[in-house]
């Protein structure tokens, strides 16, 4: 008769020892897809750390240049408060404009049939990436200025856009829209076509399918795009100063205020800069959370 293995009879000590041995063996095994460190990786780390230090030092200096008391006190100054309020108002309005006009376009580009001139549309949507903001500001003046292509007709109706708060919103929307549309388009393109088709066969028309299925599915990507567009709008400088000017309380956003008060009130400039950096890091954190959710 053959002896069968019976776990209850196994010698406890022996069992324990063999398992510990297996553990040690596993701990020694290197991860399968990494090679041992070479002189290349050492060199890369050394040079790379220099870049990291180069990026980190200025940020650190900014925070060290102002004491917490003076940081808090700076919020009492009109120039800081007005710039903060104006930036918040204008950038959120720009974001609203971008989302309302950008979402339908992004969806169409992602799901619609190819059309003639598609390449030109793509290029136009990448314009803010490749042109300096100052060029955008000049272009906006040529279009909506008093003598501009559209501006002269607006002037006849008594509408003057340049050097107004509306101009700030326009400059910010111009610079931020590309970021939103690109991200939103990718998000819509990633929605499984089979799902939208099944939705249609189940009796949901194109509008219902868009609002109940595609929009919620693409939402993380839309939020990522909106955050990027908002960051871009908040940081907008060149187009704003050319097209909207630099008037405290009317068109002087945070970046413009930093530039303006730098020489006479360093604390105010530093305070605004720190607020912008904190908002930026807050957005980065939000984006990384969303990316995790996406993957």
Partner 1 sequence: MRNILAFDIHVPLSSFSLVVKGEAGRGVTAVLGPSGSGKTTLLRCLAGLTRPAAGWIRFRGRDLFSSADGVFIPPERRNVGYVPQQYALFPRLTVFGNVEYGLKARKVPARQRHSHVQNMLKKMGIERLASRTPGSLSGGEAQRVALARAMVLNPDYILLDEPLAALDPQTKQHIREFLRSVLKEASCPVFCVTHDLGDVRQLADRVMVLRQGRMVFEGRVEELEKEDSFVSSHISQT
Binding site for partner 1 (CB under 8 A): 192, 194-195, 197-206, 208, 213, 216-217
What distances in angstroms separate CA 71 from CA 67, 68, 80, 235, 282, one per listed residue? 6, 5, 11, 20, 19
Output the smallest distance, CB 211 to partner 1, in A: 11
Output the smallest distance, CB 197 to partner 1, in A: 5
Which is nearer to partner 1, 111 or 217 (by Cβ)? 217
Q: Classify residue 119 by burial, with Cβ atoms within 10 Å: 0-12, 13-18, 19+.
A: exposed
Which is nearer to partner 1, 15 or 197 (by Cβ)? 197
Q: How big, in percent rounded to 5, are the helix, strand and coil portions of the chain? A: 75, 0, 25
Output the smallest distance, CB 18 to partner 1, in A: 36
Query: What are the strands, taking DSSP E only, across 135-249?
Result: none
Which is nearer to partner 1, 110 or 244 (by Cβ)? 110
Q: Classify residue 63 by burial, with Cβ atoms within 10 Å: 0-12, 13-18, 19+.
A: middle
Rounded-to-integer distance, Cα 134 and Cα 138, Å: 6
Phi (first) and psi of residue 33, to 5 degrees: -110, 20
Q: Are 157 and 123 within 8 A, CB to CB?
A: no
Output the smallest distance, CB 107 to partner 1, in A: 18
What distances in angstroms separate CA 99 from CA 17, 52, 70, 224, 227, one per listed residue? 64, 34, 38, 12, 11
Which is nearer to partner 1, 182 or 196 (by Cβ)? 196
Output the smallest distance, CB 192 to partner 1, in A: 7
Output the smallest distance, CB 217 to partner 1, in A: 7
Which is nearer to partner 1, 16 or 293 (by Cβ)? 293
Which is nearer to partner 1, 199 or 252 (by Cβ)? 199
Output the smallest distance, CB 198 to partner 1, in A: 5
What distances in angstroms separate CA 83 from CA 79, 208, 254, 275, one per listed residue? 6, 42, 5, 11
Output the smallest distance, CB 223 to partner 1, in A: 16
Which is nearer to partner 1, 12 or 114 (by Cβ)? 114
Rounded-to-integer distance, Cα 123 and Cα 150, Å: 22
Which is nearer to partner 1, 146 or 212 (by Cβ)? 212
């Amino acid at each position: 008769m053959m002896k069968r293995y019976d776990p209850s009879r196994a010698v406890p000590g022996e069992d324990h020892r063999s398992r510990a041995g297996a553990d040690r063996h596993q701990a020694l095994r290197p991860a399968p897809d990494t090679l041992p460190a070479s002189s290349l990786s050492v060199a890369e780390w050394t040079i790379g750390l220099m870049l990291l230090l180069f990026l980190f030092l200025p940020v650190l200096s900014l925070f060290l240049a102002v004491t917490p008391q003076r940081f808090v006190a700076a919020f009492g100054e009109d120039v800081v408060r007005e710039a903060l309020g104006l930036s918040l108002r204008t950038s959120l309005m720009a974001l609203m404009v971008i989302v309302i006009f950008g979402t339908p376009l992004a969806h169409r580009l992602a799901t619609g049939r190819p059309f003639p001139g598609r390449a030109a549309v793509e290029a136009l949507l990448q314009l803010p990436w490749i042109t300096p903001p100052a060029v955008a500001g000049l272009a906006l003046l040529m279009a909506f200025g008093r003598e501009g292509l559209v501006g002269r007709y607006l002037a006849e109706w008594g509408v003057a856009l340049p050097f107004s708060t509306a101009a700030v919103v326009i400059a910010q929307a111009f610079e931020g829209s590309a970021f939103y549309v690109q991200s939103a388009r990718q998000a819509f393109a990633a929605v499984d076509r089979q799902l939208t088709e099944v939705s249609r066969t189940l009796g949901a028309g194109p509008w219902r399918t868009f609002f109940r299925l595609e929009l919620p599915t693409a939402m993380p990507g839309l939020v990522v795009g909106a955050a990027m567009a908002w960051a871009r709008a908040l940081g907008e400088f060149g187009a704003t100063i050319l097209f909207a000017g630099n008037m405290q309380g009317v068109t002087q956003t945070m970046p413009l205020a930093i530039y303006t008060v730098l020489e006479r009130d360093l604390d105010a400039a530093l305070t605004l800069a720190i607020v912008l950096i904190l908002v930026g890091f807050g957005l980065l954190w939000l984006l990384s959370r969303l990316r995790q959710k996406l993957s």
